[in-house]
Each structure stands twice: as structure tokens, then as C-alpha cells.
Structure 1
């Protein structure tokens, strides 16, 4: 065969097709980044399958990530979207979850990248219609501290980037021959400009557990504002179909919708709590972040042998 002296190394695009989403890995294979042709990006750390960045087409970051966050796999990431499974917080009085670390082990084990898929594209298809989905997996056999929770399970986590939104979904499968109980939550840190100018709509009339006030049960009246340390587990009146919106200075930068996740945790550490967290930086960073965390944590989800639980959130931004 005759070698061409100047043969092309690769074709940059297939003739006739619209530009396609791209997926790249970091040099050390610790993270994966997806980018749409229109410029939106999402970056996921394989440690914890933690989304650590989500930017719009202008390059504006939508997630808050602590400047002191550990991204080397030495501890869970402070910021982005850490995954909580199989326990929310700690459960010292729960038979099977009492020995688990804070928020379980999904966020502090390395996940396997399972692959990508993109929306079907064809000649003339609008770039705004494109999307890319990244799938990650974690099984009980790959968990470093699996002896603390003696059940066989499989987790599939999907991160889907569209031009106007980001969707994260988690499927939990019980691979054991006996039932287990679990909790699931997506600990989303949204970036805001000024927390004192923020209100949260969609929670009026919802009952909530106020963890700052002795885990007392209360009812929300009107919109939620943040004026001090806030740690509340809400159960919106309309169920998972009720959207929750963040409104800042009269505009709505984020609307969060849920699928099969009945709770919404609202969290901001404020001054003293932020000071006490070594991996929270800058210390006044609480002014620029707000956690809106969809989850199923108000009660334990019971999965029989072979059953699966799926929950998802979609965060929509104005375009």
C-alpha cells in the first residue's frame, strides 16, 4: 500500500452533519468534560461522580465550588453536585445505616465512566437541539467501605447537558437477595450573586423539618429568604411535580424540577458554620451560594430484592 505523505490525521467533522457535542478526558483520567457546539459545558470528577462545573454558552459558571475543595480523591468535594447515598446525614439509630459516614459513600468512591450518548443529529438540525448524556456506574463490589453497609447494589448516574438545562438522574438497583432501605439526594450548590437578594419560590405551604431549630416541624408561609444559617428539609405540597425557583433581584436564574424526589433541602451555612468548615473557602463564600437539593430523604425508601428506584432533577436556566 502506498503511504500518502500528507494524509490527514482525522476528519474534523462529517460533511453534511451539524457540529456535534464533544467529550474529553483530563490527562490523568480523573475527570470528564462534555461541550455542546454552542459552548455550554459540564465537567464531572470521577471521584464521587461529582459535577464540579456547569457553564452556559457565555462561560458563566452556574455551580458554586469551594476554593478549598479537594479534587484529588482525598475527601468528598465541597461544592458542585455531590451525590448522597445510601443515607442523608447520619443515622445512628438505623439498624443498617448506623455505621455509615456522613451522607454515605457514593460521594467518596471513584465511579466508572460507562459512556456517552448524544441526541440524534442530521444535516440541518439546529445546534440548540443537541444534547449529550454521560453515564457513570458504581456497584457494591467497587465500594471501598462496603462492609459498613452489607448489601449488593448497583448505581447508574446520568448527567445530561442541554443548552438550557442540566439533568442529573440516579438509578438504584437492589442486587441482593433481601430488601434494603436507602435515601437519595443531589446536594446541588447553585451559584448566586448576592444571597441577601435571593428568594425561593414554590415552597409556600410546604411542611419542613428545621434542622437548625432542633429538627422541629414547621410550615412555610410565603417565599423562602436566607437571613442566617439555614438547613431545612421541605416536602412541597404538590409533590415532585412542583417546581422550585430561585429568584434574585427580580430575575429567575434557576428553576429546579424533580422526578420521583419528594423532598427539597434548602441549605446555606452562613457565617459561623462556614468559618468552622476547613474546606469552605472563601469564608464569605456563603454569600454566593445556595443549596437546593432534591432528594428522597423524608423517609427511607425500601427496595425489595431486584427492585430499582430512580430519581432525577432538572435545573433550567434562562436563555
Structure 2
């Protein structure tokens, strides 16, 4: 077990040889490799790792707004897309446990660009974010604690914008969203998901809302479970693949054929805002587990 810190990154190495690489900018997990060197996350070859912009790939952190707020009266409306957590330099707080091997990063108003901070409710919100990254033999867990340390209640979204690596998106299926309430961002329509499995043959961008906590999203490739996505206190899940046209329009998305090898399954609290009272704390997590058996958690015959 080891934790190595450089000026810009932190590297965790498990005793079995698996590793996690975390960029201090955005506290963005860049890589999760298993003991056999299989890479589980997708990172654009054109991703900016110098702090000049948010990282394209890995696990970007979305706070305090998902997307761009559509309500001009909401305190998050002036913020840019996905807020400021992914564009801020987090403080490395050190190792917390040996088994699982875990480290923490912190973010407060003092770490955020003052001009960006002013865009959220005129800069009056005081907060502390603590991210815990825990590496085990076949799993990676990311936990977020959001504490309202100010005098005012505030509302926020949270999202783990996870880019999973896949061999070929056209062979991939995702399970266990049947009957979930779905907002299709491409159609701007809401409906109940009736497909027993999700497949990918064009651009895909859906928000699954209020998904039961016991439901495990599984990424399946030709009958083999690649990754299971477990959620704690995160009711929603975004599923996204940009496909051809959108990939071409993103300057930091490389190679342009990279959409074949990535799939975002993003646990979050984005269907609505979470209101956090002064002095209170909110905690949530995602756990990525490599492999597993196919689990059917919905009645596909109803």
C-alpha cells in the first residue's frame, strides 16, 4: 500500500497492484487500473491537466449546479455549466485509512476563484466539501461530504460525472433502469423507461430520476459484466454518450472516435436541488465495482 503525492497529483497503489491517479485540480480521478493493468476509466488524450479548464474524462465533480440552470431566479443561474468544483484546486488532506486505501481532498470558498464564487448567490454561501477516494482490490469508492458552514441555507446539485471505459459502445448494454422516470435531454421529454436493457447506437443523453437506491446499474459487454455502479444517497443517474457529431464539436475530446470507448454513468442529485440548512451536512457516494454477475432487478415482464 502506498500514497505518493506530487505537486499536481496523488497516486494510490494497492497491495495487489491496482492503482488510482487523482489530479488535485478538480480532485479529478484520472485513472483507475486493476492489478492486471486494465484501465477502467476513459480519459481524453486532449484533456487539459494544467488547470486551464475542466478535465475531459475520469471522474469530474459537478457542484453546485448540474448543466446550466434554466431558472433565472435561482441562485445558481449565473454560474457556468456544471459549477466550479471541477475548475478549482482542491487541497490534499492526506491518507485516512489503510484498508481500504483511502485519501481525502477538501474544497472551501478560499479555494475557489473569487469571481466564480460571486456568481453563486452573490458569494454569500460558506461551505466545506470533503471528497474521500477509497481503493480496494476490485472497487473504487468516491464519497462526498457537503457541509453548510455559513449562516444561510443553500441549494445545490451534485454529480459524479464518471467516464467508464468500454471496448466498443455498440456492444455494450446497461441494465436495471426499467420503469425509472426518465428525462430525455435530446427529445426534451419525460417518460417512464420501458426498455429492459439500454443499448447505444446514436447520441444518448438521459437523466433517470428517483431510481431506487438498491438498483445497481451494470455495464455489460457481450454477456460479461464490466462494471457495477452502486449509489448511496444519490437518487438520480445520468447516462450519456456524445456519439459522432457532438464529439467532433468538443475541442478537448480526442480521439474523435473515442465515443466508441466511453460511457458516462453519472450518479447524482440533479433531478432537483438539495436544500442544505445552515450547520448541516449531506453525504453521498458512488462505488464502482469491477466484474460481477448479471442481476435483473426489474420485472421485465410487467
Q: Tell me what 1:22 maps to.
A: 2
In structure 2, distance between residues paired with 1:37 and 1:224 = 36
Q: d(CA) in 2 for partners of 1:181 and 1:306?
A: 13
Q: Please say if residues 33 and 43 of structure 1, whose CA atoms lie closer than 8 Å, have aligned partners that are also in contact.
A: yes
Q: Distance in 2 between matches of 1:60 and 1:217?
A: 37
SS in 1 for 2:256: coil
Aligned to 2:272: 299
State how far apart, in whole Å, the 2-side matches of 1:234 and 1:211 are: 11
Maintained 8 Å contact 1:92/1:99? no
**Cα distance in structure 2, aligned partners of 1:73 and 1:23:** 22
Which residue of the other structure, out of 108, 117, 121, is the alignment partner of 1:139?
108
Give the unaligned 5+ runs of structure 1. 1-20, 120-129
The Cα of 1:299 is off from its aligned counterpart by: 0.7
SS of equivalent to 1:227 = coil
Matching residue within 60, 79, 86 for 1:100: 79
Q: Report the counterpart of residue 290 of structure 1 in structure 2.
A: 263
- Asked if 1:51 corresponds to 2:29, the answer is yes
2:166 to 186, 192, 199: 192
- CA 1:66–1:315 in structure 2 vs 1: closer, same or farther (change >3 Å)? same
> Is 1:229 equivalent to 2:203 in the alignment?
yes
* Distance of 1:205 and 1:285 partners within structure 2: 30
Deviation at 1:318, TM superposition (A): 2.5
Query: Aligned with 1:240: secondary structure?
Result: coil
Using structure 1 for the length normalisation, give the TM-score.
0.87
1:308 aligned residue: 281
Instruction: Report the TM-score, using the length of structure 2 for normalisation.
Output: 0.92
Pair 1:70–1:305, CA change in 2 (3 A): same
2: distance between equivalents of 1:118 and 1:211? 40
Asked whether the equivalents of residues 264 and 292 of structure 1 are also in contact (C-alpha less than 8 Å), the reply is yes
- Unaligned stretches of 5+ in structure 2? 293-302
Aligned to 2:300: none
Tell me the CA shift for residue 92 of structure 1. 4.0
Misfit runs of 4+, over 2 Å: none
Q: Note the C-alpha offset of 1:236.
A: 5.3
